[in-house]
């Protein structure tokens, strides 16, 4: 029983290393509810089994670039969770997001056992989310902006303002994305206004990714929201001061 439990943990550690670029011993120990000493032994066991693990001093463990393991097999419950997420995403208002997720989920389905695949398809027909029933698609930029965020690509947009519907051209440094049930919003540093702004994707009339990069912003998304909250509270105390 103990050997089976350890084998299961070794497999899970290997999957974690393939999923995340770097994982440290403390993180792995917490995830699998074992001591760091146990993790050290597990990593050594994987190395002895021929898994090419790199140890980055002060950072953690990673797999050698290019090393992959065979496709994982999903349990029925895991497959059901993915199918449920697919039904939710199909109601999303961004066309590019739906396209990319559908292609990804098709690859996942390809590794399911036939009986699990049949059950997953049955579940797919019997789940529905009761919003955006008209299947409105209001944007097609989410996938492009995701790449711009992860690669620090400068973008140029034509944006229709909410108040006056005036079209303005701006160069922006994409920072983060968040979603409401109605719209996706992009947080970006706007070089026209020289500050961070939130842009609704459905109001972006044209998007161009430029052949230029920008330096990463030394700020977390949570810090951005806290700054917005601070400015909002300041505006309540000083009504004459404009909120940007």
pLDDT at 213: 95
Residue range 22-27: average pLDDT? 90
Backbone angles phi, psi at 234, to 5 degrees: -65, -40
Q: Does 197 score more than 60 pLDDT? A: yes
Q: Does 200 score more than 80 pLDDT? A: yes
Q: What angle do CA 206, 210, 215 make, to 5 degrees?
A: 120
The residue ranking higher by pLDDT, 90 or 5, is: 90
Quick check: 203 and 158 in contact, CB under 8 A?
A: no
Q: What angle do CA 204, 210, 211 make, to 5 degrees?
A: 165
The residue ranking higher by pLDDT, 239 or 84, is: 84
Backbone angles phi, psi at 7, to 5 degrees: -60, -40
The residue ranking higher by pLDDT, 206 or 112, is: 206
Q: Which two tokens stand for residue 3?
A: 């050997």
pLDDT at 168: 94
Separation of alpha carbons 21 and 69, rounded Å:
15
**Three-state SS across 117-162?**
HHHHHHHHHCCCCCCCCCCCCCECCHHHHHHHHHHCEEEEEEEECC
Residues facing residue 186 across a β-bridge: 177, 199
Q: Predicted confidence band at 4 (pLDDT cuts at 50, 70, 90)?
A: low
pLDDT at 25: 92
pLDDT at 72: 64
pLDDT in tens, 53-64: 998 888 899 888
Separation of alpha carbons 63 and 27, rounded Å:
16
Residue range 51-74: average pLDDT? 80
């Amino acid at each position: 029983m103990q050997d089976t439990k350890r084998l299961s943990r070794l497999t899970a550690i290997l999957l974690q290393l393939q999923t995340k670029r770097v994982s440290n011993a403390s993180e792995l120990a917490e995830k699998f509810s074992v001591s760091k000493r146990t993790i050290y032994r597990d990593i050594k066991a994987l190395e002895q089994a021929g898994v090419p693990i790199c140890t980055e001093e002060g950072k953690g463990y990673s797999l050698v670039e290019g090393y992959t393991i065979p496709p994982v097999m999903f349990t029925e419950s895991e497959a059901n969770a993915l199918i449920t997420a697919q039904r939710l995403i199909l109601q999303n208002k961004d066309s590019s997001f739906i396209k990319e997720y559908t292609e990804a989920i098709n690859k996942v389905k390809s590794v399911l056992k036939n009986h699990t695949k049949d059950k997953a398809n049955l579940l797919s027909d019997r789940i529905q989310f009761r919003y955006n029933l008209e299947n409105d698609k209001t944007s097609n930029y989410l996938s492009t902006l995701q790449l711009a965020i992860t690669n620090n690509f400068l973008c140029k947009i034509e944006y229709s303002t909410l108040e006056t519907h005036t079209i303005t051209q701006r160069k922006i440094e994409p920072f983060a994305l968040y979603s409401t049930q109605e719209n996706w919003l992009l947080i970006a540093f706007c070089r026209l206004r020289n500050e961070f702004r939130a842009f609704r994707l459905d109001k972006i009339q044209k998007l161009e990714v430029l052949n230029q990069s920008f330096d990463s912003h030394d700020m977390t998304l949570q810090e951005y929201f806290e700054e917005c909250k601070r400015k909002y509270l300041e505006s309540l105390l000083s009504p004459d001061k404009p909120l940007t």
